[in-house]
Amino acid sequence: MLRKNRSVFIIMSVSLLVFIAAGFVSYLVSSSRQNTPVWKGYYQLLFEEDADLEVVAKALNSSGIVPFITESTAKIPLFSYDKSIYKPVSDIRNYYVEGDPLLDPFLKGISAYFHGYADGRKVKIVYIPEKESAVKTYLKLKKAFKQDTLWWSMVDFQPLQRLLFIIFALVLNLFLYLFARNKKVFFFVALVSWIFPLVFGNLETLIAAASCQFSWILFSDQIYRNIKYYLNYRNFDPELVGNGIASLVFTLVVCISVFILFSGNGGFTVMLVSYIMMISATVLLMFHLYHQHNVRIHRIFFPVRILERRKCFRLDEVYAAGLFFIFLLVVPVLFHVSVSFEEVAIPAPYQLTGDMTLSFESLKRLSHSHNDKHIPDLSDYVTHMAFIDGYQYGRTYKFPEKGEKVSVPVFMNKNGLAYRENLVVKMFTDDWYQSIINADNSTGLVAMLVRQEAPVGVKSAGLHRMTTVRERFGTYYIYYLFLLLPFLFWVSGIVTFPEDKVKRLFIRRRRQVV
């Protein structure tokens, strides 16, 4: 029996080591990729390409989700020069840039903010403010739009759905434990609680429900029994109390970890804490199972009958541990090949290094770092404003130098002689820059760029679901739970409670009293 208990310990040790290694590998892989954070203060909504933006605007207005940003409400100024300063001369065409001002590269690139791809289809993009919680915003959108005409690209719109599935799993399993004493029935309906989120929800809700399911199993199998025997016999047994405390701690850790992982409050620090908590809980349970002397190892895995036929297959616990190890290594590879990312291409900002202030100098450096295929950003907007402020005087499209002057020649008659002077009609100073940045920061596309509070480059690329550190750790956490939960379920579900030992203690205590 001790050899079998050691086999249990070996299997769990191997799975734990693989889990830790996979976590660190995923961190290295994710840290080498460029993260794509969402817009600060805004959500992105995706609509069908043929969606009527006027209907969308009416629905958003009726729902109180204002001010929103669409292609027609981007509020990009076209001309803002002071016509009173303009001094016409004989050949006026010399003071205009050849071509239409609408050929401004910034104006030509604006449409990239409001058009993209999702699931192989062209979509229109609308930006809504992040004034309320994701749950309230989700409910308003659900009421305003039909499910088949709207996608919300941010994960933050799903916590209510996950919470409902978690509550569903908790209530269902509590009901099962109170009324279904048959363990087979309990296991069957528990599987139903796993399938329900899989069909009507997503992978995260399934894992959350499964984790709560497993927590209730541990709670019902050991904590409840400890309380029951204590009330019946009025006697504390160190082993029983230790088992109860271990189960309770593991239950709390699993629930807290699941809440942290899937509550939408991401971040590397929080994710790392949850990761360490889950490892600690597993180690605690490993030692707890290692000291159990009545674990029937042949029922650990689902193919019970296959493992029992040792004459045909000659499978030992060590071989089972090896298969378990290989399975842990293969599944993440298959998972990444199949569902590691979604086919989505929409504008997303990425934070730049260096100066993190919206200054003249930082935006100038940003303008010099562009390639030929970038989406316009705030530095392009400043260039655009400098262009439309000076294009009628012959200024070309380029980022303004600090203190740059735009002047026109003026001829004056003094005492019958012609004098030429250069009249300064525009000067790009700090005051001009601040007036451009702060002209309208309440709504519109420029307001969204200013809201980032730092220079950001903007790109349109496939937004991978598993690119951030939190999501990659969460992915391997999912592997870990999917593979380890059935194993722990069988172990914890068939550990026979030492009922005879408690009765002997009770009889011995009564004899001592007599």
Count Cβ atoms below 10 Å from residue 491 Cβ, excluding itself: 21
252-256, 274-278, 290-294: lowest mean pLDDT where?
290-294
Note the pLDDT of residue 219: 47
Predicted pLDDT of residue 432: 93
pLDDT in tens, 166-209: 555 555 555 555 544 455 555 555 555 555 555 544 445 455 55
Q: What is the pLDDT of residue 504?
A: 58
pLDDT tier at 146, thresholds 50, 70, 90: low
Evaluate if residue 32 carries a pLDDT over 90: no
CA-to-CA distance for 166 and 37, rounded, in angstroms? 27
Note every long-range contact of 485-489, with CB atoms under 8 Å and residues 24 or more positions apart, other chains counting: 485/210, 485/211, 485/214, 486/301, 486/302, 487/11, 487/12, 487/15, 487/300, 487/301, 487/324, 488/214, 488/285, 489/187, 489/214, 489/217
- Cα distance between residue 295 and residue 10, in whole Å: 14
What is the rounded distance in angstroms from the CA atom of residue 15 to the CA atom of residue 276? 15
Cα separations in angstroms, 454 against 127, 348, 380: 19, 14, 14
Q: What would the pLDDT profile of 67-126 be if each residue is shown by its tens digit?
A: 899 988 888 876 544 445 444 444 444 344 444 555 677 888 888 999 988 766 788 999
What pLDDT is attached to residue 333?
Answer: 46
Residue at 449 is within a domain: no
212 belongs to a structural domain: yes
Q: How many domains does the chain have?
A: 1
* pLDDT at residue 64 is higher than 80: yes
Q: pLDDT tens for residues 375-410?
A: 899 999 999 889 888 877 878 888 999 999 998 888
As a whole number of angstroms, the distance between CA 405 and CA 396 comes to 13
CB 212, CB 228: distance < 8 Å: no
| pLDDT tens-digit map of 404-447 | 999 888 888 878 787 888 888 899 999 999 988 887 667 889 99
Interatomic CA distance for residues 444 and 421, integer angstroms: 40
Assess whether the previous peptide bond of 67 is cis (omega < 30° from 0).
yes
Instruction: Answer whether residue 41 shows pLDDT above 70.
Output: yes
Residue 164 inside a domain? The answer is: yes
**Which residues make Cβ contacts (< 8 Å) with residue 425, sequence separation at least 6?**
82, 85, 86, 390, 393, 406, 407, 408
- Return phi, psi of residue 394, to 5°: 95, 10
Residue 292 domain boundaries:
2-28+156-343+467-513
Contact 298, 307 (CB under 8 A): yes
What does pLDDT average to over the chain?
63
The pair of three-digit structure tokens given for residue 81, joined into one six-digit string: 């020069």
17 lies in a domain?
A: yes
Cα separation of 249 and 241, whole Å?
12
pLDDT at 149 (0 to 100):
57
Backbone φ/ψ region at 65: left (φ over 0), alpha (ψ -120 to 50), beta: beta
Whether residue 149 lies inside any domain: the answer is no
- Quote the tokens at residue 34: 């460029």
Identify the pLDDT of residue 7.
54
Task: Give the position of tokens 């803002």.
Answer: 80
Residue 200 lies in a domain: yes
Asked if the structure places residue 16 within a domain, the reply is yes
For position 294, what pLDDT does the model report? 40
The rounded percent of the chain whose pLDDT value lies above 70 is 36
Q: Which of 54-68, 271-285, 364-378, 484-498 has the highest mean pLDDT?
A: 54-68
The four Cα atoms 263, 264, 269, 273 give a dihedral, to 10 degrees, of 20
Q: Which has the higher per-residue pLDDT, 385 or 276? A: 385
pLDDT tens readout for residues 294-351 = 433 333 333 333 333 334 334 444 455 455 545 544 544 444 433 333 457 888 888 7
**Predicted model pTM:** 0.52
For tokens 């593991």, the residue is 250
**Tens of pLDDT along 217-273?**
544 454 455 555 555 555 555 555 555 555 555 555 555 555 555 444 444 454 555
Query: How would you write 306-333 as a 3-class SS string?
Result: HHHCHHHHCCCHHHHHHHHHHHHHHHHH
The answer to whether residue 472 scores a pLDDT higher than 50 is no
Give the other-Cβ count within 10 Å of 254's Cβ: 22
The answer to whether 9 and 289 are in contact (CB under 8 A) is: yes
- What is the per-residue pLDDT for 2? 42
Q: Strand locations in 163-281, DSSP E? A: none
User: Does residue 490 register a pLDDT over 80?
Assistant: no
The reported pLDDT for the residue numbered 458 is 86
Any domain includes 491? yes
